[in-house]
Amino acid sequence: MLTESKGLYIIKEEILPEIIKKTVKAKELLKNGDVKTVNEATEMVGMSRSAFYKYKDYIFPFYEASVGKIITIALILEHRPGVLSGILDEIARARGNILTINQNIPLQGLANVTISFDTREMIKNPEELLEALEEKPGVREIEIVARE
């Protein structure tokens, strides 16, 4: 007998159906105080209230699910002085607490690095931090591999 798991998934926004994106936007409007009622929020984003209520408890931004968690990221970095240091500095500035760093020997000018960090004390949301890391010189690729 097969059992279905009720797992969580990280999905890039660009492949989400429009109604899911509208649900997230309506939730943001309510959370930020831009509107006072669900009716106002749903009208503003162009969706029905019934659709909002259907999806609202099942979709939320990555950073909300990551606060106070341990995140593990895998990076492919150019093998140049200061690249890894810049990544670590960015995490420290966001007040992420680095727990582990694993780096393989660089091959063909690229190094695979895995970093785990605690988000409990962070002053930046994890999503913003990952975007900042992606923009750092020498970062070829970044991927979230775990969230506990």
**pLDDT for the residue numbered 26:** 93
Using CA atoms, how far residue 95 sits from 5, 70, 118, 127, in Å, is 34, 13, 9, 14
pLDDT over 90 (residue 128): no
Q: How many residues does the chain have?
A: 148
pLDDT over 90 (residue 6): no
pLDDT over 90 (residue 57): no
Between CA 146 and CA 148 the distance in angstroms is: 7
DSSP string for 12-54: -GGGS-HHHHHHHHHHHHHHHTS-SSHHHHHHHHT--HHHHHH
Amino acid at site 15: I
What is the rounded average pLDDT for all residues in the chain? 86
For residues 127 and 61, which has the higher predicted lDDT (pLDDT)? Answer: 127
- Return the closest-CA partner of residue 73 out of 123, 33, 114, 37: 114
Q: Which residues contact 96 (CB under 8 A, 6 or more apart)?
A: 117, 118, 119, 121, 122, 129
Instruction: Categorize the per-residue pLDDT at 8 as very low, low, confident or very high, splitting at 50, 70 and 90.
Output: low
Helix (H) or strand (E) holding 142, with range, is: strand 139-147
- Return the closest-CA partner of residue 61 out of 12, 118, 111, 107: 12
